[in-house]
Structure 1
Amino acid sequence: MVHINHRVGIKAPLQKVYEALATIQGIAGWWTQDTTGKSEIGGTIVTRFHTLEGTEIGSMHFTAKTLDPEKKVRWEFTAGPPEWIGTEVIFDLHQDGDYTIVLFSHRNWAEEVEFKSHCSMKWAIFMLSLKQLVETGQGKPSPHDIKIDNWN
């Protein structure tokens, strides 16, 4: 199995970072504005991605598997790009001085493919959007995220 891993430090209390990862409003503030669903264990969350003109370019459905305040958020993808189905995203959190450290992992890709490289770069951009949201109150969720190639 192949994994994507990132580490980012956010100068904010753990609880504030957790809320950005574990709530619909939080996710909409850093990943994609079009986020709906139920952020509870077993609840399904739907994220849709659009161009600035409003055209939908992709969507994902995932189930919240772990919502452990101030420690961990874990999602399992049930719909979306075929490469994502059955994969999971984990956000492990811990405090280190003034920083909350987020250890991000998108786990269990079946193989190393070009799309995984694209997603790794996009996750890095969205982790910086998370940092910006928590530290300043304003993230850069889709459709206002940095575009990196012709796939977004």
Structure 2
Amino acid sequence: MVNIIHRLGIKAPLEKVYEALATVEGISGWWTKDTTGISEVGKSIVVKFYSLQGNEIGSMIMEVKNLEPEKEVRWQFTSGPEEWVGTDVVFKLHREEEYTIVMFNHLNWAEEVEFKAHCSMKWAIFMLSLKQLVETGKGSPSPDDIKIDNWN
């Protein structure tokens, strides 16, 4: 299996970072504005992505697998791009000095493919959006995220 891993330090309390990752409102502030569903273990969250012209370019459904306050958020994708179905995203949180450290993992990709490279770069952009949201109160969720190629 192949994984995407990023490490991010955010100058904010653990509870504030956790809230941005563990709630529908929080996710819509850094990943995509069109986030719906119920963020409870066993329930699902739906995310949709749009072009700047307003055309839908993708959507995913993820089941919430774990919500451990101030420690971990875990999702498993049940629909979306073929490469994502069955993969897990895990956010592990801990404190180091004045930073909350986010260890981001998108686990269990079947193989190294060009789409994984695209997604790794986009996850990095969205992790920076998370940092912006928590530190300043305003993130850059889709469709206002940085566009990196002709796939978004």
CA drift of 1:25 comes to 0.3
* Aligned residue-pair number: 152
What runs of 5+ residues in structure 2 fail to find an aligned partner?
none
Residue aligning to 1:102: 102
The Cα of 1:97 is off from its aligned counterpart by: 1.1
- Identity, % of aligned pairs? 72
Q: 1:59 maps to which residue?
A: 59
Partner of 2:117: 117
Partner residue in 2 for 1:16: 16
User: In structure 1, how many angstroms separate the alpha carbons of the residues matched to 2:53 and 2:39?
Assistant: 28
Q: Does 1:137 align with 2:137?
A: yes
Shift of 1:51: 1.0
Which residue pairs with 1:45 in the alignment? 45
Q: Does 1:6 align with 2:29?
A: no
Return the alpha-carbon distance in structure 2 between the equivalents of residues 43 and 142 of structure 1: 23
For residues 41 and 24 of structure 1, the distance between their equivalents in structure 2, rounded to whole angstroms, comes to 13
1:101 partner amino acid: I
Deviation beyond 4 Å, 4+ runs, structure 1: none
2:114 and 2:141 mapped to 1: Cα distance? 23
Describe the SS at the equivalent of 1:117: helix
Distance 2:19 2:12 in 1: 12
Normalised to the residue count of structure 1, the TM-score between the two structures is 0.99
CA distance in 1, matches of 2:100, 2:63: 24
For the aligned residue pairs, the C-alpha RMSD in angstroms reads 0.4
Deviations 1:96-152 (A, max 9, x none): 111000000000000000000000000000000000000000000000000000000
- SS of 2:82's equivalent in the other structure is coil
Q: Secondary structure, in 3 states, of the residue corresponding to 2:48? A: strand
Counterpart secondary structure, 2:122:
helix
Residue ranges of structure 1 left out of the alignment (5+ in a row): none
In structure 2, the residue corresponding to 1:101 is in which secondary structure? strand
- Letter matched to residue 117 of structure 1: A
Shift of 1:91: 0.2
| TM-score relative to the length of structure 2 | 0.99
CA distance in 1, matches of 2:15, 2:43: 21
